[in-house]
């Protein structure tokens, strides 16, 4: 078991390159099942969520060859339905994409009810309703979701989503792409990774239009073909490094391989706080001088401020001048990490989905834990600004989604390292 050790206070200066988008890659990797062919997927982020997804695909019968650290050749011709390994599927939220993809190709599927970060209740009723509208019978048996197309085929239909769900939009697209007839998803998620998946599927021969708007039209095709496809850059990884660059005075970081349009809501809030941002075609420069000002933020589905940037934003608001509000508009319970920031001296009070943050002068170094993926990285951001030695434990959460985070931050001057947790410390960690 390892921990991150951070000595805060250093300005960050230099260049950070962003990798491929984890959440986009997850949909596309499972989407390869639909092709019954060979795909080459490039710009995959080498993080544990991706290695686990590749492992699930392998267990389903796919043949996978890593062509480099970030590209994989995936042959799904021998995939058989209902083979997703139970334990692995329970650990990852996105394992539910195997359901849509297998249902779309074979007309039947079975996989464990998915796990993932704990933000309160995480139902999948919208996915299930979508599959049922397409003509599948769905039941939950022994902790598994089992679905089967009536008469062996799915039929295109109109689906109105009561509330926006990224995962349900993706899963319904996967199931509908080879269905008979046309499917319309109304009130669809508009996230860049929904568009990326549509682009990938269209490159394989699908007929999807409207991705990126709230009405997606999918004309079913009888088969798809393999292709070579590169995943888009990760806007959440980029946003996280933008926030890391906004912590200490004198920081100036160029963030490369980004799509500035995807970052607009983050850029706008940082500028409001007093951070200087210069955009170029596929990079941006973040510069911080002087104390940050308070800012009010509400997370919303894209193009709103992303919920996956909420803890990182909080890590900046805690030392901004004045009182900031942070409202969580997507998840029921995404403020568990604020307890950890309080250990560093942050003044945060949470009521339901709203946090009130009174900016303090500075944070104190402390020993904190990563309570989930984005909360974990928020601890790093907070520790970069706190004078002295901070320790972050339970870093496996962070490694699910951030490639080489220690190396990338060290390259711009952060004093961060990965160290082994000694046995006596490990037992002490249980009580922090
Ligand atoms: C995805 C992202 C996650 C991000 C979230 C919102 C992946 C692997 N994960 O999660 O990092 O935080 O989008 O941007 O891409 N809901 C229901 N019923 C459903 C589905 C969702 O009630 O069937 C609710 C959820 O509880 C939540 C809201 O809808 O309150 C949004 O969830 P959703 O957009 O589906 O998130 P995910 O796709 O799971």
Of the two residues 260 and 152, the one the predictor is more confident about is 260
Average pLDDT over residues 49-64: 97
- pLDDT of the residue at 432: 41
Q: Where in the chain is the domain with CATH 3.65.10.10?
A: 2-19+233-429, 22-230
Q: How far apart are CA 251 and CA 412, in angstroms?
A: 9
Tell me which residue of 305, 60, 312 sits closest to 191, measured CA to CA. Answer: 305
Averaged confidence pLDDT in the chain: 95
* Per-residue pLDDT tens over the stretch 252-294: 999 999 999 999 999 999 999 999 999 999 999 999 999 999 9
94 in ligand 1 pocket by Cβ < 6 Å? yes
Closest protein CA for atom 33 of ligand 1: 165
125 in ligand 1 pocket by Cβ < 6 Å? yes
167 in ligand 1 pocket by Cβ < 6 Å? yes
CA trace torsion 44, 45, 48, 50 (10° rounding): -20
CATH H superfamily, domain 22-230: Enolpyruvate transferase domain (3.65.10.10)
Q: At what angle do helices 166-176 and 22-31 cross, to 10 degrees?
A: 20
> Mutate which of 113, 118, 166, 174 to test ligand 1's pocket (most atoms within 8 Å of Cβ)?
166
Confidence band, pLDDT 50/70/90 cuts, at residue 61: very high
Residue 318, class by beta-carbon neighbours within 10 Å (0-12 exposed, 13-18 middle, 19+ buried)? buried
Distance 165 CA to ligand 1 centre (A): 5
2-19+233-429: in CATH 3.65.10.10: yes
127 in ligand 1 pocket by Cβ < 6 Å? yes
Backbone angles phi, psi at 217, to 5 degrees: -115, 125
Clarify whether 117 is annotated catalytic.
yes
Closest protein CA for atom 11 of ligand 1: 308
* Per-residue pLDDT tens over the stretch 321-353: 999 999 999 998 899 999 999 999 999 999 999
* Per-residue pLDDT tens over the stretch 376-403: 999 999 999 998 999 999 999 999 999 9
Name the catalytic one among 60, 78, 82, 117: 117
Q: How far apart are CA 368 and CA 397, in angstroms?
A: 13
* Per-residue pLDDT tens over the stretch 155-213: 999 999 999 999 999 999 999 999 999 999 999 999 999 999 999 999 999 999 999 99
Q: Terminus-to-terminus CA distance in the chain, angstroms?
A: 16
Closest protein CA for atom 25 of ligand 1: 122
Confidence band, pLDDT 50/70/90 cuts, at residue 431: very low
């Amino acid at each position: 078991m390892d921990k991150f050790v951070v000595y805060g206070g250093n300005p960050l200066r230099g260049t950070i390159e962003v990798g491929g988008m984890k959440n986009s890659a997850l949909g596309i990797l499972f989407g390869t099942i639909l092709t019954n062919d060979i795909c080459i997927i490039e710009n995959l982020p080498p993080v544990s969520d991706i290695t686990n997804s590749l492992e699930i695909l392998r267990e389903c019968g796919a043949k996978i060859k890593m062509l480099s650290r970030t590209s994989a050749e995936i042959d799904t011709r021998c995939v058989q339905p209902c083979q997703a390994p139970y334990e692995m599927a329970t650990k990852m939220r996105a394992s539910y994409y195997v359901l849509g993809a297998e249902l779309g190709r074979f007309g039947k599927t079975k996989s464990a009810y998915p796990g993932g970060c704990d933000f309160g209740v995480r139902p999948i009723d919208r996915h299930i309703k979508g599959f049922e509208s397409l003509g599948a019978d769905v039941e939950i048996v022994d902790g598994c979701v089992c679905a089967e197309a009536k008469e062996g085929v799915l039929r295109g239909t109109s689906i109105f989503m009561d509330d926006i769900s990224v995962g349900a939009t993706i899963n319904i697209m996967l199931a509908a792409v080879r269905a008979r007839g046309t499917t319309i998803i109304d009130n669809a998620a508009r996230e860049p990774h929904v568009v990326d998946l549509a682009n990938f599927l269209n490159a394989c021969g699908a007929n999807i239009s409207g991705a990126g708007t709230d009405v997606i039209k999918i004309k079913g095709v009888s088969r798809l073909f393999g292709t070579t496809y590169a995943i888009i850059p990760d806007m959440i990884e980029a946003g996280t490094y933008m926030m890391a660059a906004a912590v200490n005075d004198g920081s100036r970081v160029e963030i490369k391989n980004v799509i500035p349009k995807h970052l607009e809501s983050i850029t706008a809030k940082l500028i409001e706080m007093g951070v200087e941002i210069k955009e170029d075609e596929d990079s941006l420069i973040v510069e911080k001088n002087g104390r940050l000002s308070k800012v009010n933020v509400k997370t919303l589905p894209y193009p709103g401020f992303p919920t996956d940037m909420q803890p990182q934003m909080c890590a900046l608001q805690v030392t901004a001048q004045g009182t900031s509000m942070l409202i969580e508009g997507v998840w029921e319970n995404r403020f568990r990490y604020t307890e950890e920031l309080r250990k560093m001296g942050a003044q945060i009070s949470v009521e339901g989905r709203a946090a009130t943050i009174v900016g303090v002068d500075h944070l104190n170094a402390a020993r904190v834990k990563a309570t989930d993926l984005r909360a974990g990285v928020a601890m790093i951001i907070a520790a970069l600004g706190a004078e002295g030695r901070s320790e972050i434990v339970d870093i496996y959460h962070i490694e699910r989604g951030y490639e080489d985070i220690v190396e990338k931050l060290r390259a711009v001057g952060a004093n961060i390292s990965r160290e082994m947790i000694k046995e006596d410390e490990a037992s002490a960690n249980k009580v922090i």
